Chains A and B, each alone.
Chain A
Amino acid sequence: QQQVKQSPQSLIVQKGGISIINCAYENTAFDYFPWYQQFPGKGPALLIAIRPDVSEKKEGRFTISFNKSAKQFSLHIMDSQPGDSATYFCAARGGNTPLVFGKGTRLSVIA
């Protein structure tokens, strides 16, 4: 039973374009939704996170959109750059339980 479903599995975007990665969850007890970024040979690192009391959070070129009623959240990367090429994981957690991760999206930004 997959608690967090992530799509697409891979994504190719032109430099300057918008990258969009989507996640859906079932557990209504989840109250923390982070996105992690992982470069080859490195561990994942927190990129941006949101709690369900807001519908959007923006940090620089990265935005999380959150739809509580649909139980969906997405990551938007504006003005995508080659340096954004990485694997992105959405995750979710309720209370102090461990993070549950999506399966990841491999993003390639091409010039």
Chain B
Amino acid sequence: AQSVTQLGSHVSVSEGALVLLRCNYSSSVPPYLFWYVQYPNQGLQLLLKYTSAATLVKGINGFEAEFKKSETSFHLTKPSAHMRDAAEYFCAVSAGYSSASKIIFGSGTRLSIRP
């Protein structure tokens, strides 16, 4: 079984500051890991994904995440926050590659950006 835990339901940073959103996973098989972003009243948009190729994954909008097996973590970072980054962020895990593989989402972290 797979699960993800996102530490911190709400993170607030100043514009220009480092963004760090934490995610820890649990998986009985090598996981595929994802970060999605959701803007108000919208569906989810993929930021980046880890598929066992490279441990440091770069995504859209300047975000990146590092897979650390020893820590079972996949934290999301961005060096300098922008106001437009304010949104809900979800970490997710999948066990397989087939089209029927379920993706399980974490509880989400709301990112607020202070001017």
> Is this pair of chains taken from one and the same complex?
no
